[in-house]
Amino acid sequence: MHKLVVIIIGLLLLTACTSNKEMSGLSTTSAMLLAVPLAPIAGTYLVVTDDSGKAKRKIAYWKDQLDPVYLEKTTQLLSKNPQHDAERAFAQSKVVFMPTLYGVSVYPGLDFDLDREFGEQNQAIINRNLSLVELQSLLAKAPVHLSDAGIPYRSDTYLCFRENMRLYKIIFNTTMFKLGASSELNPPGFSIKNYQPTSQCPSNKAASWSLD
């Protein structure tokens, strides 16, 4: 609507002008009028720039909050041995797998027929064993990170933790599967995936575990 008013005024001025002097004045007036619609654009640019600054500050804030958490998680995780942990868990609780998330029926390192009921049973086994509860907590996202998917956080520290965590679960689950198979305790429909992970973490933060 604002642009339409400017155009109408410009046309009226153009019709009214009859001399070169008037046309010269019109050029100046038209330039001023045509500059008016640019004001909202400039304002929008400033808003976008300000929003960009807020976004950067928010990213920096969550990096400061969560990097130390995932750095500590990585340190604790690298001190563990997924194969030995699986053997100990099998001795205590028989067959139990580490899922991708709490209670779900997705297990890194394994192919399977999706079975929601087994996922619930598997989680119940974990919940009855304090060492497995602590292990699952270590392998999970930080609570505040898990509760809000909108947090703008995806630093190298977190990605390295996630990579090591995934490798740990793969080795834990495949070791557990082999133990279960030897005792004929595995649930039906499961098999080991043919998977060889590659690490992109810095050498001092990359796990030394390997799949047999």
Q: What letter represents residue 142's amino acid?
A: A
Does residue 171 form part of some domain?
yes
> Per DSSP, what are the bridge partners of residue 191?
111
Which residue's entry shows tokens 């009226």? 12
Q: Which two tokens stand for residue 185?
A: 């305790």
Residue 97, domain extent: 67-205
Average pLDDT by stretches of 10, the chain with 212 residues: 49 48 47 44 46 83 93 96 96 92 90 76 95 97 79 89 94 93 77 71 83 70
Alpha carbon 34 to its chain's center? 46
Does residue 44 form part of some domain?
no
Do residues 169 and 88 both lie within one domain? yes
Structural domain count, the chain: 2
Do residues 95 and 182 both lie within one domain? yes
Do residues 27 and 82 both lie within one domain? no
Does residue 199 form part of some domain?
yes
